[in-house]
Chain A
């Protein structure tokens, strides 16, 4: 059997779009196959938030007073969902770094596939992966007694905002993954991700931190998403002074991801393009 494509003409724009979608789907299927083949990966990735929440709720929980009448469990669960989304960019960075390291990205680039599919496929599959993560975490949260109190529409909106944060951070992950030297350096990202996830309202209200740290935490995009989902779950955080950033979490949970995407999507695309320089 001899298979060759007709090499003499370029595809038209419509044909190219069709291939871009088809290639994206092929890459998504590849990533989903990874998940099916390595279910333990999900377990490992979710290990950290699950252990954190058990620690915070059961070990520190009794000593935690987050203000108001809020049960600490209701405070920590939305925080854990948000933190998992925030740390997700490391998975993206790692997967991109591995593909780059192993030459898989070079192979894709030497093929007549749509170049955009490498990135769009990654985006779609990471969001699907994140949705699966959230489903598992929500199940665990329900088991230990957490209940969303804002109605079905609000609950769905909360999960949508969580995925929006994860989506925005995909571009940070792609950018970092393309820039790091190798997959080991990508593994070291945890040192960066940990303060990014923790210096926020995820487990403690910023108003209880030293002023300067609290300010950083309030303006951390992670805090805005955490604040927004708490509101949508009907478990808003008691804010102290009522600073603007803390009183507009819903708005900022949309604005921050848009800003992050606006900055890092072009950066990621540019870095991908500069692989040929």
Chain B
């Protein structure tokens, strides 16, 4: 690729290929995946379901062998020096990979021993991590009694026993209720502030937008494996889709058609309508001009609206433009705390 000094990057993947199965029925998962994560950054890996996000992270975390391409993590090749890579990484998969029957403290002490810390150091480190992740009160309770958020925090703590240089998080908040999700986000931010490089896959655009310094968008065209199609800061990605959007929320379904008509007249392109939220948006050339014009027309036609604004495009719109498909599941499954399903802020068209 285009990097002279691979050591500048905590994670560097070049042209990774991976197929599952053999022969003609083999399913391509990755077909040319590139990634360069600068040390100390939080990197979001974003893509529709089946684009190969998990495959990519599993290759980088030495859990899967790539069929082609090269990858270095922490300066070591994942294929030829997996042991050296494993000393520098933390990995948190999609499910909280902790022992349900042990207590939180016993889990962390066990992982400490398996990271080859001495008994006293493992104990001290467990105590420290329990404190850091606000699990001290629950430390000696069996994990099966933990809430979903506590489990994830313990899982995250287990990835951090050795203070890894690079932390891989595969959909760290999938299935969590909003409160637990915020707890995980806070923990990731703290780690990033302390200098840990974080590579996280997510299906939630909001999550990537809030956490990541940079975002790689991965997409798998029909019949092919995933490849990186964009790699930039969230802001730069948003700029790509061409500036500001006027957005109007109708006061009721009966006003939606009229709102659509007005927005269509003012916008530079066909409006996008979300029937559920009664939201109509379209890209505009001039912010003030567009806002004034839309407001005037709505007033003239006596259309009732609850919101009227000009805003920057959302990552969701970027995603739609880049991949041709909406971000997946726009609702979260029910969290372990029993909190109800909440709608994502970003809603697919």
Mark A residues whose CB is within 8 Å of B. Answer: 1-5, 7-8, 10-11, 19, 22-23, 26, 29-30, 33-34, 37-38, 101-104, 106-113, 117, 275-277
Contact = CB atoms under 8 A, between A and B. Distances in A.
Given A33-B101, A37-B142, A3 B162 contact: yes
B116 A3 contact: no
Contacts of A117: 114
A19 B62 contact: no
A109 to B, nearest CB: 6
A104 B97 contact: yes
B120 to A, nearest CB: 12
Given A26-B110, A107-B111, 14 more contacts: A3-B117, A10-B84, A23-B113, A26-B113, A26-B114, A30-B110, A103-B94, A103-B97, A104-B97, A108-B114, A110-B62, A112-B86, A113-B114, A277-B65
Contact of A110 (B91, B117, B125): B91
Contacts of B65: 276-277
Contacts of A7: 74, 76, 84, 87-88
A4 B111 contact: no
A181 to B, nearest CB: 15
16 contacts: A1-B128, A3-B163, A4-B163, A5-B162, A7-B76, A19-B116, A22-B116, A26-B113, A33-B101, A33-B106, A34-B101, A34-B102, A103-B93, A107-B91, A113-B114, A276-B62
A19 B113 CA distance: 10
Contact of B63 (A4, A102, A110, A112): A110
A42 to B, nearest CB: 13
B333 to A, nearest CB: 17
B86 A111 contact: yes
Contacts of A33: 101-102, 106
Which of A7, A8, A109 has the most chain B CB atoms inside 10 A of its CB? A7
Contacts of A29: 110
B199 interface: no
B349 interface: no
Nearest to B75: A7
A37 B100 contact: no
B15 to A, nearest CB: 19
Interface string B49-76: 0000000000001111100000000101
B114 A10 contact: no
B83 to A, nearest CB: 6
B10 to A, nearest CB: 13
Nearest to A29: B110
B124 A1 contact: yes
Which of B91, B96, B116, B125 has the most chain A CB atoms inside 10 A of its CB? B116
